[in-house]
Amino acid sequence: MGSTVKIATDDGSVGHHGFAADFLEETPFDLCYACGPKPMLKAVSKLCKQMNKPCWISLEERMACGIGACLGCAVELKRSNGESYYGHVCKDGPVFSSEEVVL
Ligand code: FES
């Protein structure tokens, strides 16, 4: 698709050895897709917001039903007007704009 993919891993097994947020600070990019632990997603989302770059994050939650019935994967989200509500990772995600997730 003509995109350059840059990868960072904590253990250095693939790509940059170190924290993803640190890597982003020193690497030019247009768009960020991230998956992993919430502290990392929080750091990456904060950095992208500071740099005015779009960021999409994939959330991981325990899922029992997978259809939005059990509420086991509920996460706090926010609308563009700042109002918060709960959505479901299984039904509404798992990929969300970092702007709409309360981390
Ligand atoms: S897994 Fe049951 S609501 Fe998402």
Shortest-distance atom of ligand 1 to CA 88: 4
Reported as type and span, the H/E element at residue 2 is: none
pLDDT digits (tens, 9 = 90+) for 19-30: 888 888 888 889
Q: Nearest to residue 57, comparing CAs of 46, 66, 65?
A: 46
CB-based contact 75:86 (threshold 8 Å):
yes
CB-based contact 77:87 (threshold 8 Å):
yes
CB-based contact 38:75 (threshold 8 Å):
no
Shortest-distance atom of ligand 1 to CA 90: 4
pLDDT for the residue 43: 95
pLDDT digits (tens, 9 = 90+) for 58-93: 999 999 999 999 999 999 999 989 899 999 999 999
Does the beta carbon of 70 sit less than 6 angstroms from any atom of ligand 1?
yes
Shortest-distance atom of ligand 1 to CA 91: 4
pLDDT for the residue 10: 85
CB-based contact 102:78 (threshold 8 Å):
yes
What pTM value is reported for the model?
0.85
Q: What is the DSSP letter of 41?
A: H
Does the beta carbon of 65 sit less than 6 angstroms from any atom of ligand 1?
yes
pLDDT for the residue 62: 92
* Ligand 1: residue whose CA is nearest its atom 3: 68
CB-based contact 40:34 (threshold 8 Å):
yes
Does the beta carbon of 73 sit less than 6 angstroms from any atom of ligand 1?
yes
